[in-house]
Amino acid sequence: MVNKTKLADNFEHYAYMGNESTYEESDFAPSFNNKFLVFYTGRDLETTSRSSTPYLNLYKTTMPGTLGASDIFMVEVYNVGSYGIPQNLGSKINTESKETFPFISDSDVVYFASDGHPGLGGLDIFSIDLKNQGKVKNLGNPINSPNDDFSLIFDDETSSGFFASNRTGGIGGDDIYALKTIDCKVSISGNAVDKDSEKPLPFATINAKNISGGNIGEAQTDAQGNYTIEIPCQESQYSIVANLEGYEEGSLFMITTPDEKKVKNARVILEESSKVAVIGADLVKVLKLAPIYFDLNSSYLRNDVFENLDKVVAYMKKRPEVKVEIGAHTDSREEDDYNLWLSDRRAKRTVAYIISEGIDSSRITGKGYGETELINKCVNGVICSDRDHQLNRRSEFILIE
């Protein structure tokens, strides 16, 4: 049972007190009208706020059943003195930490402070359009700072408001600041491309993220892989992030100034997930290359291997951080010492070709393994076909860094 306590003679302030953990987590989807009250409640009522819309009030709660230190709840108002059961607005808004100092504007946008959502430091001010099922957004710089920023109230008609902060430069512990929004946008255009082929990637999802990870803009690439996205001009440092099925997430760090209204040629590069190699991976398998074989008793590169070696070169040029060791192998015919010598020559010839194509010698090394790592049964004394022996006369390209 929830006990209701009226704190005023009008609908501006109400608190709900209770000990029962009967409040379930949910992504509550309210339909705003005069029946609904959005609020914080709790044993220790710290803040209340009210918009001009009747019956929409915000309170703080630390009662049992919350998701964290304090949560935002909603309750239906039937008439004077008659209310429904408080409903937690769910994990979309409430975190394991503190959601506090809420305010709802005339346009049904809820502003609140939180130290649980990604922020710039301490308490940050966030917004969410519950009526249109929006996402939680960090209001970013200059409203939020590395210190505590909270208690925002906002007038939609004048696009102005006030908030409190203990940021550096204030007069006291917590100071009140005024703000006025300006419809100032930066238009960023560019494209998303495949890392290896540089072909455009259509229908990739593009998001702009501020330095705290909050989403400040969304777009999608068209059939030619191009996109245009708008972000608030006060965002001086941010990232353009691209996602597409089958690819690893790609990002591009950006720095712009408020007087830059258009940015062009912002290219985001995505790497195909199947081409992401881990340490120890063989690029022959990663790149789906045909096996690179040698003729019997020969260390010379065959004409049919250059196309695949060039693909290894292209892969390394696109990834300057990658280092590769070439492992050259022989079959079991001939003496063991001879096979070690022969495989070493094969490795050195392969390394020399890759360096000649523009790869720095510090990034490519070679080692001959002779017949010490056969991949089939064709050891000394076992009769095998030429094809089976051929399988052992191979080169591997192992990612070592």
β-strand pairing of 364-368 with 324-328: parallel
Model confidence pLDDT, tens digit, residues 251-309:
999 988 767 888 999 999 999 998 888 888 898 888 888 878 788 788 888 888 899 89
Q: What is the mean pLDDT of residues 134-160?
A: 86
- State the chain's mean pLDDT as an integer: 79
Model confidence pLDDT, tens digit, residues 321-347:
999 999 999 888 889 999 999 999 999
**What pLDDT score was predicted for residue 76?**
60
**What pLDDT score was predicted for residue 194?**
95
Count of helix runs (H) and strand runs (E) in the chain: 4, 25
**What pLDDT score was predicted for residue 41?**
35
Model confidence pLDDT, tens digit, residues 105-134:
878 888 899 999 888 888 999 998 877 777
**What pLDDT score was predicted for residue 80?**
54
Model confidence pLDDT, tens digit, residues 200-246:
999 999 999 987 777 888 999 999 999 999 888 777 889 999 999 99
Q: Which of 6-10, 27-31, 210-214, 301-305 is modeled with the greatest confidence?
A: 301-305
Does residue 89 have a pLDDT over 60? yes
> Which one is predicted more confidently, 35 or 139?
139
**What pLDDT score was predicted for residue 62?**
56
Does residue 13 have a pLDDT over 90? no
pLDDT tier for residue 52 given thresholds of 50, 70 and 90: very low
Q: What is the mean pLDDT of residues 186-206?
A: 94
**What pLDDT score was predicted for residue 137?**
85
Query: Of 80-94, 172-186, 321-335, which gets the smallest average pLDDT?
Result: 80-94
**What pLDDT score was predicted for residue 1?**
24
Sheet with 250-255: strands ordered across: 215-220, 205-210, 237-243, 250-255
Find out whether the peptide bond into 232 is cis, omega within 30 degrees of 0: no
Rounded CA-CA distance 121/107 in Å is 28
C-beta separation of 247 from 171 below 8 A = no
The helix (run of H) or strand (run of E) holding residue 216 is: strand 215-220
**What pLDDT score was predicted for residue 78?**
57
- 119 CB neighbour count, 10 Å cutoff: 24
Q: Which amino acid, residue 61? A: T
> Which one is predicted more confidently, 83 or 175?
175
Q: What is the mean pLDDT of residues 51-57?
A: 38
According to DSSP, the residues that pair with 217 across neighbouring strands are 208
Residues with Cβ within 8 Å of 80's Cβ and at least 6 positions away in sequence, in order, are none
**What pLDDT score was predicted for residue 83?**
59
Pick the closest to residue 178 from 208, 196, 158, 205 (CA basis). Answer: 158
Residues with Cβ within 8 Å of 179's Cβ and at least 6 positions away in sequence, in order, are 143, 160, 161, 162, 163
> Which one is predicted more confidently, 138 or 1?
138
pLDDT tier for residue 363 given thresholds of 50, 70 and 90: very high
Q: What is the mean pLDDT of residues 372-384?
A: 89
Rounded CA-CA distance 277/299 in Å is 28
β-strand pairing of 14-17 with 324-328: unpaired
> Which one is predicted more confidently, 16 or 63?
63
Q: How far is CA 190 from CA 168, 207, 231, 386, 395, in A?
A: 37, 13, 14, 54, 40
Does residue 360 have a pLDDT over 90? yes
